[in-house]
Amino acid sequence: MNSLLENKWFKFGLVAAIYLLWVIWLNNFWWLIGLVIIFDSSITQRVHWAFWKKKNPPDGQQTKVVEWIDAIIFAVIAATFIRLFFIEAYTIPTSSMERSMMVGDYLFVSKTAYGPKMPNTPISFPFVHHTMPFSSTTPSFSTAVHDPYRRIAGTTKVKNDDVVVFNFPEGDTVAVNMQERSYYELVRSYTRNRIWGDQRTFGNIIYRPVDKRENYIKRCIAIAGDSLKIIKGQVYVNGKAQKEIPGIQYKYLITISGSSISSEALEKLDINRADIEGSDSRYILSLTTEQAKKMDGMKFIQSKERVTWPAENSDPAMFPNDSKFNWNLDNYGTIWIPKKGVTINLTLNNLPLYKRIIDVYEENDIQIKGDQIIINGSPASTYTFKMDYYWMMGDNRYNSADSRYWGFVPEDHVVGKASFVWLSLDKNKSFLSKIRWERFFMSVK
């Protein structure tokens, strides 16, 4: 057996077979050229591929420096390969997914679930996203080479209620001094001329390709082809109420006897005092259904009422940011989620919903002349979508910048499926008490 494992032809055959399977999965047969390198390094050894090493050193050993370089090169290549094709680590920075995902959760995201997405910008600094370490403005990538969207085969497709990591759709344009806010929301608030003219406040305005836009994590509420409507905070997909998800939080108005809620009660309910709004015996709390039920048995609770926006109170911040659509966080839609290959009738009434898709995501030239829609120079009364789209919402429904504010997520923005939490740290605690042991290796649902 040992002699077989040491046989150079056996090793070549094994490595070549694995490599060939990878090329077939990649569906890019130019990579078959790599078999020449594998054959030469295993059998003929004509070329010194590991140029950083001495070939046949006198004592048979490399220097310590060369050994370290060899180890670093191998680690970088292996880690990059794993991150690109199989699994990548992410952290939860905001509370938009609480209580399903907690701030301080470190999770692995599966790239194989929906299929690895090939980089649009393959020339980039390893292990960083869009900005170089120790800088807030220097890009970590080059656009000298820019590849179109391509995704290789995955094990499944995006389904309703999956927790998905994706590139922020409105992250194509960024004001570097206010990167935490959407550029388009800034334009609506301050006007484009103000933002481009006041670099001291807003900084340079930069562009980011799809794969270098900020990573978001939300729950996919509706998939391509679905119709979505929200009535008094209840989500309906294709006319059916969304299934109960334990981590979803809603707003409740709580009236108590006394002036404040005790620390013991907050600990029992697992509520952080910093998350409480209100005073003088009346408070607004974000609660899951389970937390709300626990309050029913507490003697100091005088009343508990679910709070929602009245349907008649429209919110101009809601997508598509058009006065024709009088929607708000709790009363939204009906809206249809575009599906690849489906043709819709296009009118001035529904154009605000799909204009960004047609113009930006699917790269058409769109104009409005009088009461006519012009696409790529020709009048258009219909449009056929080129990609699937998704509707993403946070489980913390009233503290989530999601599709209700910026619309659809194109399929080429989808990064992967949240798989499991491998570490969870509570920033409000210290030392070992920071560790949330109960969340270790918890699967994401």
Whether 80 is covered by a domain: the verdict is no
191 part of a folded domain: no
What value does the CA radius of gyration of the chain take, rounded to a whole number of Å? 26
CB count, 10 Å around CB of 417? Answer: 22
Among 306, 337, 371, give the residue marking a domain's end: 306
Boundary of a domain, candidates 306, 329, 350: 306
Looking at every residue in the chain, the average pLDDT score rounds to 91
86 found inside a domain:
no
Decide if 144 contacts 209 (C-beta within 8 A): no
Q: What is the pLDDT of residue 280?
A: 74
Residue 18 lies in a domain: yes
**Residue 435: inside a domain:** no
The span from the CA of 128 to the CA of 125, in Å, is 6
Determine the average pLDDT of the residues in 125-136: 89
pLDDT of residue 285: 86
Q: Is the pLDDT of residue 304 over 80?
A: yes
Mean pLDDT within 358-370: 96
Q: Domain range for residue 14?
A: 1-49
pLDDT at 291 over 90: no
Q: How far is CA 83 from CA 77, 332, 354, 362, in A?
A: 10, 37, 33, 27
Letter string b/e over residues 151-164, b meaning 16 or more CB atoms within 10 A of that residue's CB: ebebeeebebebbb
Average pLDDT estimate for 35-60: 80
Over 70: is that where the pLDDT of 71 sits?
yes
Place 8 in a pLDDT band, splitting at 50, 70 and 90: confident
Q: Map tokens 């959760």 to a residue.
A: 105
The string of DSSP codes covering 413-445 is GEEEEEEEEEEEB-TTS-GGGGB-GGGTTEEP-
What is the reported pLDDT for 1? 60
The yes-or-no verdict on residue 218 having pLDDT over 70 is: yes
Looking at residue 177, its pLDDT comes to 93
pLDDT tens for 193-207 read 999 999 999 999 999
- Distance of alpha carbon 250 from alpha carbon 270, whole angstroms: 15
Is residue 4 in some structural domain? Answer: yes
CA angle 138, 413, 366 (to 5 degrees): 95
49 or 41, greater pLDDT = 41
Average pLDDT over residues 360-381: 96
Domain total of the chain: 2
Q: How confident is the model at residue 432 (pLDDT cuts 50, 70, 90)?
A: confident
Most confident of the following: 21-35, 36-50, 224-238, 420-434: 224-238
Main-chain phi, psi angles of 112, to 5 degrees: -75, -20
What is the mean pLDDT of the segment spanning 117-127? Answer: 93
Indicate whether 255 belongs to any domain.
Answer: yes
> Region 104-133: what's the mean pLDDT?
94
What is the value of pTM for the model shown?
Answer: 0.91
Is 278 a domain residue? Answer: yes
- Final residue before a domain boundary, out of 265, 291, 306: 306
pLDDT at 35 exceeding the cut of 70: yes
Residue 213's pLDDT band, with cuts at 50, 70 and 90, is: very high
The Cα–Cα gap between 31 and 146 comes to 19
